[in-house]
Structure 1
Amino acid sequence: MHLENVVWDARDPRRLGRFWAAALDAEPMTDRPECFEARMILSGDAFLDLCFQRVAAPSSAPARLHLDLAGGARQRDVVERLVGLGATHTDIGQGEVPWVVLADPEGNAFCVMEDREAYRGTGPIAALPLDSADPDRDAAFWAEITGWIPWNGTAGAVTLRHPSGAGPLLELCPEPEPKRGKNPLHLDVRADPGDGDPSARLTDKGARQVSRAGELPWLVFTDPSGNEFCVLPAPPG
């Protein structure tokens, strides 16, 4: 399996997707009222897709996954550009911090980070912080299902990255509170040819299966800390 998608639940996928595609210089692939998809090339054949799916009422539960965007020495310029695209400044209780917290057009908070050595060369997304009840345990779980490897990241998180060294960091961060409600953003992994049914393998690693085979075109699980993710079928051939 490999990590393929970051997925947003959206009231208006086209509007939200176009914002993020412009923000991250991603190439739109699907542009429909009910579904918008764009692709970010990380390096060579490594990519990350941004997917926006229509839901009647996106979850209002506290976000456990968000995007940290690279700002660095150009942080102010990056913020101004994002605001020009439709982002707004927001207060989530961050206090005095060196990063800037914004919200996308549907209110999902994200950060524009200050200069950090760990974020050099990541591209526009510096990190994908994911709340975890046990970061060491969950890092081992996500490494198993994504193929990403341990990486020297920022203090306070256990970090993984694509083995090419390209693209964002996946940061397993100590959760401020136990999970409640559905995550408005989640990750998808794609099965590789020959993987077969991943259910037993994943549950043995601490996942919980939410959907049964045949109910959806993909399988829905939660990781050991309760964060939703989907396993997409292997590509044909």
Structure 2
Amino acid sequence: MTLRPVLVNIKALDDSSVGRFWAEALGWSVTSGGSGATAAEPVGFDGLHPVGVCIDALAVPEPKTATKNRVHVDLATTSAAHQAESIAHLKSLGPTPAPVGQGDVPWTVLADPEGNEFCVLEPRETYRDTGPIARVVVDCADPRAMARFWDETMNWTLHEVTDDRAVWRSAKGVGPYVEFVRSFDVKIVPDRVHLDLVPAPGDDKAAEVARLRALGAADLDVGQGDVPWTCLTDPEGHEFCVLARS
């Protein structure tokens, strides 16, 4: 009984604009789940049997604050030339540099049309076969504590746990990594970006939610009303949702 990451969910004033940006940025297709939701998905993506993640922009009335997001994606490149080409392409789509105190680093930090930060990494061997998204990064206070909770939550393989980070990847060895990285920033606003997870085939969503509560997850009310997904927070307050298999 474990869950699979399936979506990087981005709250947006204009879900169509944000969803289409990410589709163009990643070379993926745009799909719309109805009014207020626009997804960017790779060809052949199966949301009921995911081995990676897609990006889903969900319309909300509140704009992003100036506070840096605690969850972001890093994009992979395969060479210095590829990194330069990727940055030029992305800037042509509208993103602007996003200074977040990174200093002199070999990666470039940009922001999507609504200010959500992301990085274009320099070539790294670890991410050579991930596809366009190298990793989903979550800022946290205690990677070891997050490893204990999330390793029981996800069916992905835990590759590394240190005081500085905890790293997972699909058990199939494909797609992006999920990395909880130590940060001294304190959460002060609701998460603008979060992970959504789906039960494995044959698993019951209600049973999975009950299991997560026993592990330390807490219920989260963001005004979602009567919806088929359940909003929770992990022991450090990171928001995430458990989706129904439908």
Equivalent position of 1:184 in the other structure? 192
Percent identity over paired residues: 37
User: Secondary structure of the residue that 1:140 maps to in structure 2?
Assistant: helix
1:122 alignment partner, one of 117, 121, 130: 130
**Cα distance in 2, alignment partners of residues 75 and 156 from structure 1:** 26
Q: Is the 8 A contact 1:100 1:113 kept in 2?
A: yes
SS in 2 for 1:58: coil
Distance 1:146 1:27, change over 3 A: farther
After superposition, the Cα gap between the structure-2 partners of 1:40 and 1:152, relative to the gap in structure 1 and judged at 3 Å, is farther
Amino acid at match of 2:36: E
Total equivalences in the alignment: 235
Q: Tell me what 1:16 maps to.
A: 18
Deviation at 1:194, TM superposition (A): 3.0
SS in 2 for 1:220: strand
CA distance in 2, matches of 1:216, 1:33: 15
Give the Å deviation of 1:29: 2.0
Q: Higher mean Cα deviation, 111-120 or 4-13?
A: 111-120
Q: How far apart, in 1, do the equivalents of 2:77 and 2:161 lie?
A: 16
Structure 2 residue aligned with 1:149, among 128, 141, 157?
157
CA contact (8 A) 1:4 1:190 kept: yes
Alignment partner of 1:228 is 2:239: yes
Structure 1 residues 47 and 122: CA distance shift in structure 2, 3 A: closer
- Structure 1 43/233 Cα, relative in aligned 2: closer, same or farther at 3 Å? closer
What secondary structure sits across from 1:15 in the alignment?
Answer: helix
1:217 aligns with 2:244: no
Which stretch shifts more, 148-157 or 222-231? 148-157
- What is the TM-score when the length of structure 1 is the normalising length? 0.90
From 29, 51, 57, the counterpart of 1:52? 57
Which residue in the other structure is 1:85 paired with? 93
Check conservation: 2:229, 2:243, Cα contact below 8 A.
yes
Distance 1:163 1:204, change over 3 A: same
Q: Which moved more, 1:120-129 or 1:88-97?
A: 88-97
Offset at 1:78?
0.7
Alignment match of 1:194 (pick from 189, 203, 208): 203
Residue 38 (structure 1) aligned with residue 40 (structure 2):
yes
Give the superposition deviation at 1:81.
Answer: 0.8
Residue 115 of structure 1 deviates from its aligned partner by 1.6
Aligned residue number for residue 158 of structure 1: 166
Letter in 1 for 2:24: A
Alignment of 1:91-130 (within 5 A): 91-130=99-138
C-alpha distance 47-117 of structure 1, shift in aligned 2 (>3 A):
closer
CA shift in 2, pair 1:196/1:171, >3 Å: closer
SS of equivalent residue, structure 2 residue 86? helix
Q: Tell me the CA shift for residue 69 of structure 1.
A: 0.5
Deviates more, 1:52-61 or 1:147-156: 147-156
Look up the SS of the partner of 2:70 in the other structure. coil
Distance across 2 between alignment mates of 1:107 and 1:196: 33
CA 1:105–1:154: 2 relative to 1, 3 Å: farther
> Where in structure 1 are there 5+ consecutive unaligned residues?
none
CA–CA separation in structure 1 for the residues paired with 2:126 and 2:160: 7
State the partner residue of 2:73.
67
3-state SS, counterpart of residue 131 of structure 2:
coil
Q: In 2, Cα distance between the equivalents of 1:93 and 1:185?
A: 20
- The answer on whether the counterparts of 2:39 and 2:55 sit within 8 Å (CA) in structure 1 is yes
Q: Distance in 2 between matches of 1:159 and 1:231?
A: 21
* TM-score normalised to structure 2 length: 0.86
Runs of 4+ in 1 over 6 A off after TM superposition: none
Q: Is the 1:161–1:170 Cα contact (8 Å) retained in structure 2?
A: yes
CA contact (8 A) 2:52 2:170 kept: no
Distance 1:66 1:27 in 2: 20
